[in-house]
Chains A and B, each alone.
Chain A
């Protein structure tokens, strides 16, 4: 499948989903358009664009699934780590989550030395805590250790 066709299929799928959802919303009258009208227009437009792109994009570079999306362990590791940060943020608190997140990124993804990664992550976390919590008074989650 070409890269363009993959994109167009995504547009068609999104258009169809939005169309189905919009049709469940009240449409109202011409003089009182309901909340479903605008999303319906957009979803129909999206599906039409998707179909047009599908038709005109049979030629072009092929999508190499593995190289494009799956042979990027670094990318997915960053996404996974960030998801972990989000899940732990409220529960563990700002300081431990940040220090841990930065340490893993420096040590595992950027391949810095263990000591350098620890020093950098602790230094940045401390500076961020001082800047965001002490200087800007942002209410960041304190976690069970209250920091």
Chain B
């Protein structure tokens, strides 16, 4: 009952003219960002951070969250119409979505993607609303030892679920955490890895690091490819699905909602994983699985619902525990920190108005997105007609100004460029970038809790396994580590034996 009253007050705030306007801007920008390949939600959010300086924290998080879930909506458009995923989570939508376009059913695919996204998004918000306060309440009882072990599990999950090899992901996590140690040590005041550069005394800024790796790095990679786009523009009257298509989509949408929400709780590539899982499940459940990939609407409905439901799931560890599970969420966290608000176990109890207004705005935002995405599909598609040669200098310039405006320091621009080159090189070497960025932001917290736990226990390592919570988390961590080492060894052995058998 308390939750409903709080939600009612949340709606009162979220329905103010300013907050609706900010939600609309966020959703619109998010959809555009999702449509355009080469500029993801992370860069989209980071670019609008300067705009939030002049508005209150509630308005700021409403707008930035709107970009985050809006980008997931927009990502399906290019997958369906062009066979180019606007978002990595929409890769799987290309399989059947583009085939539907080829068969003249693009409108129906876009419609079901939008409806599925709306249902998935809305169901996941109910989950955020119900689970976040409970989880936050449990987390307030956590000491540094418990928090450290939880973060360790999060990082190991991140390395297990990554699309590249376990060792490579673990390397990126270690590098990200090392980058997080640059600057002044908060406990002793010692400077680490600064080499006398004053610009590094406060550490590496999150915005230049993340924008460099994702924004600049992506632009540099995309510039190598010449992109020629043939854009199909569906008419509004083509958007309706047939009754059979609609009926076939109900199951995938409901399954995708639940699956996406729970997978969204996991750190790392939850959006990608949720859409792939949903696709696999729908294919397994289908009477004629061989038809998947030829334009089955279930192949669009399930994955698109799941990746939108995952956005809600990802908000729970962020709001309740202060753990960002995706780079885009990490940028929202940075924006909140700039406004003096720290997400974590105390966030909901200290900022109930902000939390419930955000929840209410997410309900509103999901409706706005459906209303925006269907009639404005032509506008978003027109964006794709802008040649990349015109688009990339603008994106580069916005990345530069967006980074400069956070600290008004040209040294951050140099960091941006440096990490941009690093992102480009790591892409070339097939290393995943998201674990680096997530570890970079979680790293300082892991170090702090590790050292505080040892200080509190007088140097006894028992602090990491003596309480039931730490014991459980450490056991999960050990199982994850063991499983991944076993998997890596098996893979390398298979590789050796297969090369041996085919060799001369």
Q: Is the CB of A72 within 8 A of B447?
A: no
A52-B167 contact, Cβ under 8 Å, with A7-B429, A74-B224, A120-B390: yes
Of B91-99, B335-343, B399-407, B472-480, the one touching chain A: B399-407
Q: Which residues of B contact A136 (CB under 8 A)?
A: 50-51, 53-54, 405
With beta carbons under 8 angstroms apart, the residue of A35, A75, A79 that contacts B187 is A35
Q: Is the CB of A21 within 8 A of B223?
A: no
Q: Which residues of A contact B136 (CB under 8 A)?
A: none
Q: Is the CB of B192 within 8 A of A35?
A: yes
Q: Is the CB of A25 within 8 A of B192?
A: yes
Complex interface bits, A34-58 against B, C-beta within 8 A gives 1, otherwise 0 = 1111110011011001101100100
Q: Is the CB of A59 within 8 A of B389?
A: no
Q: Is the CB of A78 within 8 A of B181?
A: no
With beta carbons under 8 angstroms apart, the residue of B417, B428, B457 that contacts A82 is B417
| A-B contacts at CB below 8 angstroms, number | 158
Q: Is the CB of B220 within 8 A of A38?
A: no
Complex CA gap A14/B414 in Å reads: 20
Q: Is the CB of A33 within 8 A of B417?
A: no
Q: Is the CB of B397 within 8 A of A101?
A: yes
**Does B424 interact with chain A (Cβ within 8 Å)?**
yes
Complex CA gap A128/B387 in Å reads: 20
Would you list which residues of chain B between 185 and 236 have a CB under 8 Å from chain A? 185, 187-188, 190, 192-193, 216, 219-220, 223-224
A105-B396 contact, Cβ under 8 Å, with A7-B431, A38-B447, A53-B171: yes
A38-B451 contact, Cβ under 8 Å, with A30-B459, A105-B396: yes
Q: Is the CB of B451 within 8 A of A33?
A: yes
Closest to A30 in B: B459
Complex CA gap A26/B455 in Å reads: 16
Closest to A32 in B: B455
CB distance from A133 to the nearest CB of B (A): 10
**Does B410 interact with chain A (Cβ within 8 Å)?**
yes
Q: Is the CB of A46 within 8 A of B175?
A: yes
**Does A16 interact with chain B (Cβ within 8 Å)?**
no
Q: Is the CB of A90 within 8 A of B459?
A: no
Q: How large is the interface on A (under 10, 10 to 19, 20 to 34, 35 or more residues)?
A: 35 or more
With beta carbons under 8 angstroms apart, the residue of B401, B413, B425, B495 that contacts A59 is B495
A89-B413 contact, Cβ under 8 Å, with A53-B168, A59-B499, A79-B421: yes
Complex CA gap A29/B224 in Å reads: 51
Would you list which residues of chain B between 18 and 75 have a CB under 8 Å from chain A? 50-51, 53-54
Q: Is the CB of B429 within 8 A of A26?
A: no
A49-B167 contact, Cβ under 8 Å, with A38-B181, A82-B396: yes
Closest to A105 in B: B393
**Does B394 interact with chain A (Cβ within 8 Å)?**
yes
Complex CA gap A45/B384 in Å reads: 44
Q: Tell me what chain A mostly uses at the interface: helix, strand, loop, or mixed.
A: helix
Complex CA gap A7/B427 in Å reads: 11
Q: Is the CB of A83 within 8 A of B417?
A: yes
Would you list which residues of chain A between 98 and 129 have a CB under 8 Å from chain B? 98, 101-102, 105-106, 109-112, 120, 124, 128
Q: Is the CB of B174 within 8 A of A46?
A: yes
Complex CA gap A35/B187 in Å reads: 8
Q: Is the CB of A31 within 8 A of B454?
A: yes
A56-B454 contact, Cβ under 8 Å, with A110-B393, A120-B390: no
Q: Which residues of A contact B175 (CB under 8 A)?
A: 11, 14, 46
Q: Is the CB of B178 within 8 A of A78?
A: no
Q: Which residues of B contact A101 (CB under 8 A)?
A: 393, 397
Complex CA gap A29/B190 in Å reads: 16
Complex interface bits, B94-115 against A, C-beta within 8 A gives 1, otherwise 0 = 0000000000000000000000
A140-B190 contact, Cβ under 8 Å, with A53-B167, A86-B414: no
Would you list which residues of chain B between 245 and 294 have a CB under 8 Å from chain A? none
**Does B486 interact with chain A (Cβ within 8 Å)?**
no
**Does B471 interact with chain A (Cβ within 8 Å)?**
no
CB distance from B54 to the nearest CB of A (A): 7
Q: Which residues of A contact B468 (CB under 8 A)?
A: none
Complex CA gap A142/B192 in Å reads: 34
17 A-B residue pairs with Cβ-Cβ distance under 8 Å, sorted by A, are A25-B190, A30-B459, A31-B458, A32-B459, A33-B455, A34-B190, A45-B174, A59-B495, A78-B396, A79-B420, A82-B400, A83-B417, A86-B400, A105-B392, A110-B387, A136-B54, A140-B405
Which residues of B are at the interface with A, using a C-beta cutoff of 8 A? Answer: 50-51, 53-54, 167-168, 170-171, 174-175, 177-178, 181, 185, 187-188, 190, 192-193, 216, 219-220, 223-224, 387, 389-390, 392-394, 396-397, 400-401, 404-405, 408, 410, 413-414, 417, 420-421, 424-425, 428-431, 447, 450-451, 454-455, 457-460, 492, 495, 499
Give me 13 other A-B pairs in contact (C-beta within 8 A), A3-B428, A33-B451, A46-B178 excluded: A6-B429, A14-B175, A21-B193, A39-B193, A45-B174, A49-B167, A53-B168, A79-B417, A89-B404, A105-B396, A112-B390, A128-B397, A140-B404
Question: Which 6 pairs of residues, A with B, have the shortest CB-CB distance?
Answer: A110-B389, A30-B459, A31-B459, A105-B393, A35-B185, A35-B190
